Amino acid sequence: MNNRPIGIFDSGLGGLSAVKELLDILPNENIVYFGDTGRVPYGTKSKSTILKYARQDENFLLENDVKMVIAACGTVSSVAFDTGKDLGVPFLGVVEPASRQAVSATKNKKIGVIGTATTVSSGSYKKAIQRIDKDIKVYAKACSMFVSLVEEGWVDENDEITIKTAERYLKPLKDEGVDVLILGCTHFPLISAIIGKVMGENVTLISSGGACAKEAAAYLKDNNMLNQSEEESTRKFFVSDTPDSFLKTAKLFLNTDKDLHAKQIRIEDYGK
Per-residue interface string for the shown chain with ligand DGL, residues 219-258, x marking contact by CB under 6 A: ----------------------------------------
Would you call 185 a catalytic residue per the annotation? yes
Reference 36, options 268, 227, 271, 221; nearest CA is 268
Size of the site for ligand DGL (CB under 6 A): 17
Q: How many helices (H) and strands (E) does the chain have?
A: 11, 10
At residue 142, what are phi and psi to the nearest 5 degrees?
-75, 130
Q: 91 has which bridge partners?
A: 69
Binder among 56, 119, 162, 192 for ligand DGL (CB under 6 A): 119
Binder among 5, 7, 35, 43 for ligand DGL (CB under 6 A): 43
At residue 185, what are phi and psi to the nearest 5 degrees?
-130, 135
> How does strand 31-35 pair with strand 6-10?
parallel
- Residue 11 makes contact with ligand DGL by CB under 6 A: yes
Q: What span, in angstroms and rounded, lies between the C-alpha atoms of 48 and 83?
A: 12
Would you call 73 a catalytic residue per the annotation? yes
68, 73, 147, 183: the catalytic one is: 73
At residue 247, what are phi and psi to the nearest 5 degrees?
-55, -50
- Residue 186 makes contact with ligand DGL by CB under 6 A: yes
In this chain, which stretch among 51-59, 81-89, 182-190, 222-230 interacts with ligand DGL, using CB under 6 A?
Answer: 182-190
- Residue 41 makes contact with ligand DGL by CB under 6 A: yes
Least CB distance from residue 9 to ligand DGL, whole Å?
Answer: 10
69, 128, 181, 185: the catalytic one is: 185
Q: 181 has which bridge partners?
A: 112, 205
Ramachandran category for residue 198: left, alpha or beta (phi over 0 → left; psi -120 to 50 → alpha): alpha
Binder among 5, 7, 14, 84 for ligand DGL (CB under 6 A): 14
Least CB distance from residue 184 to ligand DGL, whole Å?
Answer: 7
Q: Residue 76 in contact with residue 209, Cβ under 8 Å?
A: no
- The residues carrying an active-site annotation are 73, 185
Binding residues (CB under 6 A) for ligand DGL: these are 10-12, 14, 40-43, 73-75, 116, 119, 147, 185-187
